[in-house]
Amino acid sequence: MARSKKILIILSVAVLLLLCCFPLIISEHYMIVSLLIMGISFLPFMYRFSKQKLTSRELVMLAILGAIAAVSRVPFASLPSVQPTTFVIIAAAIVLGPQSGFVIGVLAAIVSNLFLGQGPWTPWQMYAWGMIGLTAGLLRNTLFMKHMLGRCVYGFGVGFLFGWFMNLWFVVSMINQISWTEILLYYSASFYFDLAHALSNVIFLFLFSNAWIKIIKRFKTKYGLFE
């Protein structure tokens, strides 16, 4: 199990790197190839979880964390584009690791869309939040993630990446006829929303990540989950 996990992680990192570098090599079918690559890096984790043996307590804990991530938008309804969903996913991933972080991220997307309505953005949201959880889990034992500054930098970065990703549903729908200038235009239009997301991630992580990590950790050790 541990070995297959390592291989999976190395593979997915390689794929992500590829995703960033290959437009330098082939630029013609960028969109289609990157979609394929996304699928390839995403599905193994989906599959891996669906075959994983979990106790009912572990399963319920994942469900609660995913549901809280989705519900966490509610008290912030009066503050535009501020929602702690990403924060909840990161905090949970830091305690529970990459696989669980991924599951909680994907679940948060599925659940919030089941209530707010599925849209063309659903798969992108699943991917984006899943990967945010996965990477946060991967980096959890590094100095970077242990240090508050590193955590905040991560939150800021993924805030923007998340926004860019979410624009993709839009770009892909127009796959046949869109040009780079237009893509840039659409991306700049979402800049302020993405900035708000990134900044709120930083603030939440700075003020609350230690407390949340403590709570989740306490619960995990109290009932001996995910060991």
Q: Determine, following the binding rule CB under 8 A, whether residue 59 of this chain makes contact with another protein.
A: yes
Q: Determine, following the binding rule CB under 8 A, whether residue 148 of this chain makes contact with another protein.
A: no
CB contact at 8 A, 97 and 140: yes
Q: Determine, following the binding rule CB under 8 A, whether residue 170 of this chain makes contact with another protein.
A: yes
* 42-63 burial: b if 16+ Cβ within 10 Å, else e: bebbeebbeeeeeeeebeebbe
**Considering only residues 18, 68, 161, 199, which one is a binding residue for another protein as defined by CB under 8 A?**
68
User: Looking at beta carbons only, is 10 or 64 nearer to another protein?
Assistant: 64
User: Looking at beta carbons only, is 191 or 223 nearer to another protein?
Assistant: 223
User: Looking at beta carbons only, is 144 or 223 nearer to another protein?
Assistant: 223
Q: Determine, following the binding rule CB under 8 A, whether residue 60 of this chain makes contact with another protein.
A: yes
The token duo for 1 is 């199990």
The token duo for 128 is 């984006």
User: Looking at beta carbons only, is 13 or 220 nearer to another protein?
Assistant: 220
Shortest distance, position 109 Cβ to another protein, whole Å: 10
Rounded distance, CA 173 to CA 202, Å?
Answer: 32
Nearby residues of 141 by Cβ (< 8 Å), 6 or more positions away: none
Q: Determine, following the binding rule CB under 8 A, whether residue 206 of this chain makes contact with another protein.
A: no
Residue in 116, 110, 100 with CA at minimum distance from that of residue 67: 110
Q: Determine, following the binding rule CB under 8 A, whether residue 39 of this chain makes contact with another protein.
A: no
User: Looking at beta carbons only, is 17 or 46 nearer to another protein?
Assistant: 46
